[in-house]
DNA sequence: CCAAAAGTTCTTGCATACAAGAATGCAAAT
DNA sequence: ATTTGCATTCTTGTATGCAAGAACTTTTGG
């Protein structure tokens, strides 16, 4: 019997923990750099407007420019960084249009997903869903937003699994990033209590096998970010398009 | 006034015609190679199982391995090629699961799009839609499937524009590829007459501002490929997963 | 004759080197 | 003083060279 090793980057990397030096786990350098940058951008650890040339990044990560370049090209295609001639790679500002499009895509996909989940979920899957909600309650109690965000991701991903469409999660993730940054800002204002309540409503509907109610709850949940946008934009104008001054040597 | 040139690969490349030597238009080599390969794979010009190493491709395109590598990495992430150790880049077989997922994603997105189009389209947009349908009728009369496929893309893209969600088209495109190959095979069996009729039904509903009917028509249209899958798979088993023999020197 | 192990080779993954292009700053002219 | 042209320099885009790993082949031992 002949067999070959399939080098599918996504699956391979998906199995590994984050934040582990790639040399140990043999996570390809390009993938590692991509994930690091993406995570830092999504979490606003790297603020919009932050400049970073490929050479600089390569030195920071201790790799050559080749994998860095690959990572930056991906991020540029996703709209997370802008690449300007002679200025290098710059963390993209929040764009209202991109956030809105992301919400549109997520809504279309996740409404279909949540319907599928309500109709098809099995008992063990529902149990796991409860565990995830518990984790979120715990995060709220401990006031640990990062942990909450992780559990949030876990929940939405689990819904895909329940609907029998696990792979669709990757499409949602691609769209999600642009919303995530806005969400971090929103969080600073309204806290996570509302989000947890939304989640509980969704899960409750799914457990009742009430697909229509689950869909409504999900729609409500995703709509929230749109309602908050004006407030966020007014409060953090510097994070938005053209809101930050272009650094220029005084002359 | 300070201005910089934004090197957004997607937008930049989107503006340019295909099949023009990149050296003339300055389309980056990596992007050019990616588009060429993607187009050839989607159209089944490159059949599943076709082997192609990075070095070989580099020589064929007359560029170095670096841009080829970038293109192959993208294609691998999209599931259009598999990369095996010591065997190189191989055009991926059709995977029933991938086709099904693509249909799921497209359905979710395009139902939302077509609803938006029916609700929001302006008169000039509807006129353009009619023109596209005419082009499809013409392609049917001339029995020109390639031209029909182009007009098909144009129509679905135009629906995104009518709905005020042009950028969502790129998400649909990413999902679409996996369906396209199956569709080519389906086309060999049933021709394009049915597809045109579907399109006419969709457009008619939109022009009548009947969102619900437009959604139903679109759902019917996208469902078609799922119904055809069994037939296609039975007729072209060699194109599907594990259906093609792994080439091996006789020994 | 079969099985296992070691050597061979081919392919990808990364590092380094080179080339081209665009914004910047300065200078000069109007 | 403002504008225009040119030289500079910093950045990305591509090419090439090197190393590691896995499948294939051969050899060796039973």
How far A246 CA lies from chain B's nearest CA (Å)?
A: 9
pLDDT at residue number A191: 78
- Is B188 within 8 Å of chain A by CB? no
Cβ(B43)–Cβ(A119) below 8 Å = no
Q: What is the mean pLDDT of chain A?
A: 84
Mean pLDDT confidence for A169-198: 90
Nearest nt by C1' to A69 Cα? D12
Residues in chain A: 251
| pLDDT level of residue A29 (50, 70, 90 thresholds) | confident
pLDDT at residue number B188: 84
- Is B85 within 8 Å of chain A by CB? yes
Cβ(A196)–Cβ(A140) below 8 Å = yes
The 10s digit of each residue's pLDDT in B100-124 is 999 999 999 999 999 999 999 999 9
Closest CA to B124 of B154, B157, B158, B147: B158
Nearest nt by C1' to B53 Cα? C11
pLDDT at residue number A49: 87
A58 touches strand D (CB under 7 A): no
- Phi, psi for residue A219 in degrees, rounded to 5: -60, -45
Check pLDDT > 80 for residue A26: no
The 10s digit of each residue's pLDDT in B157-180 is 999 999 999 999 999 999 999 999
Check pLDDT > 60 for residue A20: no
A94: Cβ–Cβ under 8 A, 6 or more apart, which residues? A48, A178, A181, A182, A239, A240, A241
User: Is A168 close to B104, i.e. CB distance below 8 A?
Assistant: yes
pLDDT at residue number B189: 80
Q: Which two tokens stand for residue B94?
A: 């059709």
pLDDT at residue number A161: 96
pLDDT at residue number B18: 30
| pLDDT level of residue A242 (50, 70, 90 thresholds) | low
Residues of chain B falling short of pLDDT 50: 1-26, 243-251
A71/D10 CA-to-C1' distance in Å: 21
Chain A residues near residue B84 by CB distance under 8 angstroms:
4-7
Cβ(B148)–Cβ(B195) below 8 Å = yes
Instruction: Tokens 């259906």: give the residue.
Output: B243
The 10s digit of each residue's pLDDT in A81-111 is 988 877 888 899 999 999 999 999 999 999 9
Q: Order across the sheet with A88-91: list the strands.
A: A51-52, A88-91, A81-84
Q: HSE-up of B77 (CA within 13 Å, CB side)? A: 17
Q: What percent of chain A has pLDDT over 90?
A: 58
Mean pLDDT confidence for A168-182: 93
The 10s digit of each residue's pLDDT in A231-241 is 999 999 989 87
Check pLDDT > 50 for residue A10: no
User: pTM of the predicted model, to two decimals?
Assistant: 0.86
Q: What span, in angstroms and rounded, lies between the C-alpha atoms of A140 and A149?
A: 11
pLDDT at residue number A14: 36
Dihedral over alpha carbons A183, A185, A191, A192 (to 10 degrees): 20
B103/D20 CA-to-C1' distance in Å: 40
């Amino acid at each position: 019997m002949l067999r070959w090793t399939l080098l599918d980057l996504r699956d391979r990397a998906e199995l590994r923990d984050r934040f582990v030096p790639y040399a140990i786990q043999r996570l390809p350098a390009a993938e590692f750099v991509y994930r690091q940058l993406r995570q830092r951008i999504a979490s606003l650890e790297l603020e919009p407007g932050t400049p970073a040339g490929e050479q600089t990044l390569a030195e920071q990560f201790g790799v050559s420019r080749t994998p860095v370049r690959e990572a930056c090209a991906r991020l540029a295609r996703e709209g997370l960084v802008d690449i300007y001639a002679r200025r290098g790679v710059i963390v993209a500002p929040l764009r209202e249009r991109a956030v809105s499009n992301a919400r549109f895509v997520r809504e279309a996909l996740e409404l279909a997903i949540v319907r599928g989940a309500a109709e098809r979920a099995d008992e063990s899957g529902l149990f796991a869903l409860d565990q995830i909600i518990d984790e979120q309650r715990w995060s709220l109690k401990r006031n640990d937003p990062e942990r909450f965000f992780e559990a949030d991701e876990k929940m939405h991903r689990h819904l895909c699994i329940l609907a029998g469409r696990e792979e669709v999660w990757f499409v949602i993730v691609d769209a999600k990033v642009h919303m995530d940054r806005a969400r971090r800002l929103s969080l600073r204002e309204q806290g996570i209590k509302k989000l947890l309540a939304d989640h509980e409503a969704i899960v409750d509907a799914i457990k009742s096998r009430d697909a229509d109610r689950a869909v409504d709850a999900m729609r409500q949940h995703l709509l929230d970010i749109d309602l908050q946008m004006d407030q966020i934009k007014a409060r953090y104008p510097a994070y938005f398009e053209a809101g930050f001054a272009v650094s220029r040597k005084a002359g």
